[in-house]
Amino acid sequence: MALDVQKIRADFPILQRQVNGHPLVYLDNAATSQKPQVVIDAIVDYYSNYNANIHRGVHSLSQEATDVYEAARNKIQQHFGIQHAHEVIFTAGTTHGINLIASGFSSFLKKGNEIIVSALEHHSNIVPWQMLCERTGATLQVIPMKEDGTLDLSAYISLLSEKTKLVFVNHISNALGTINPIETIIQKAHEVGAAVLIDGAQACSHIKPDLAALDVDFYVTSAHKMCGPTGVGMLYGKEVWLKKLPPYQGGGEMIKEVSFEKTTYADLPHKFEAGTPNISGGIAFGAAIDYLNNIGFDAIEAHEKGLLEYATEQLLQIEGLRIYGTGVKKTSVISFNIEGIHPYDIGTIVDKLGIAVRTGHHCAQPIMDFYKIPGTVRASFAFYNTKEEVDRLVAAVSKAKQMLT
């Protein structure tokens, strides 16, 4: 079913504003998505009507807040096809979830072990593993990328061995839009007994992963790229792994009993949820999932595919423009440069025309080093974008080129 995009756009207050005297064209969705009114209302409703701490009070407000917060956990569980609600850990975001797992595996790794990441990773899925290797003596291996922005699977398979303990790959590249073959990556890792963590931050606004079907050990994502608020995210972990991992932080909520002699930890999921959480954020995360499911991910995928194809076709008509990331399987992200022009200069000019794009290395500097470029201009589309906005982008980039050459 085709989306009623104009009706959807009316749900997003920020899309009605102007920037630099022009109607806003927001094409930086890979950095963060915009928020529909229903998500904003969920935050306001919590603070206006039942603001209280959760899991800790017998009074009515605390019970009400607890019920709504845990209902959001159940929505996440159902949305991602997770077997048990206690396998859903609320986090501050994708980076928090990755660091939680990296910290926990410090207890299991030793010198001679190997962990594998891909060349397409965001810095948040590189730096924690480098730190883990420094702490444990393990070795970091990298799956190389190919010229079209896809991973070299044959090289990945050759890296796997009995020394491999962990594999970490993003589901979709934030810099290029490449959709990685995570089914194969997970299967091959499990054949050598390695655990797998998938960074789903860029994927979950575009597709609806079934984590039970994927048989993945860990999966992390952030609400703010799914039309939810910043400062909250989800870590999924198989129960068997979450029980083995030590707590990431100590404090309230994550304990069962505390004395000065000994502390015992709470059951899942609270073992990994120390302190007062982002309650309104968790509730709004649930509201965002409801909103996306009401639209439907099949319709979202089809609309965004149409935008990607149209924008690719139109941008390539600009002489000297090169798109990075040309694999067959990709989502609605276009990273490009124009020969002889710095991406920052293009981004600055199109911003003056009311168009928000991202410029730079997109926290994926190894990708830029591979292509021997300082960065790219990145236009990333969401289901509330239109072909008319693509036309404005193409006109603005053409004008920038004319001004800068």
How far apart, in whole angstroms, are the C-alpha atoms of residue 199 and residue 117? 11
How far apart, in whole angstroms, are the C-alpha atoms of residue 284 and residue 340? 44
Q: Which of 133, 204, 227, 363 is catalytic?
A: 363
How far apart, in whole angstroms, are the C-alpha atoms of residue 35 and residue 394? 25
Residues 6 or more apart in contact with residue 177 via CB below 8 angstroms: 202, 308, 325, 330, 331, 332, 333, 334, 335, 380
H/E stretch holding 189 reads helix 182-191
CA angle 301, 304, 305 (to 5 degrees): 80
String of DSSP letters for 153-183: HHHHHHH--TTEEEEEEESB-TTT-BB--HH
CB 227 within 8 A of CB 33: yes
Closest by CA to 29, choosing from 230, 205, 160, 252, is 205
H/E stretch holding 212 reads helix 211-214
Mark whether 204 is an active-site residue: no
**Token pair belonging to 221:** 């994502």
CB 43 within 8 A of CB 376: no
Q: What is the Cα gyration radius of the chain?
A: 22
Burial group, residue 58, by CB count within 10 angstroms (0-12, 13-18, 19+) = exposed
Q: Could you give the C-alpha distances from 328 to 177, 239, 325, 351, 363, in angstroms and in order?
A: 10, 35, 9, 30, 23
How far apart, in whole angstroms, are the C-alpha atoms of residue 319 and residue 276? 54
| Helix, strand, or coil (residue 118) | strand
DSSP-derived pairing of the beta strands 88-91 and 25-26? unpaired
Q: Which residues are identified as catalytic? A: 363
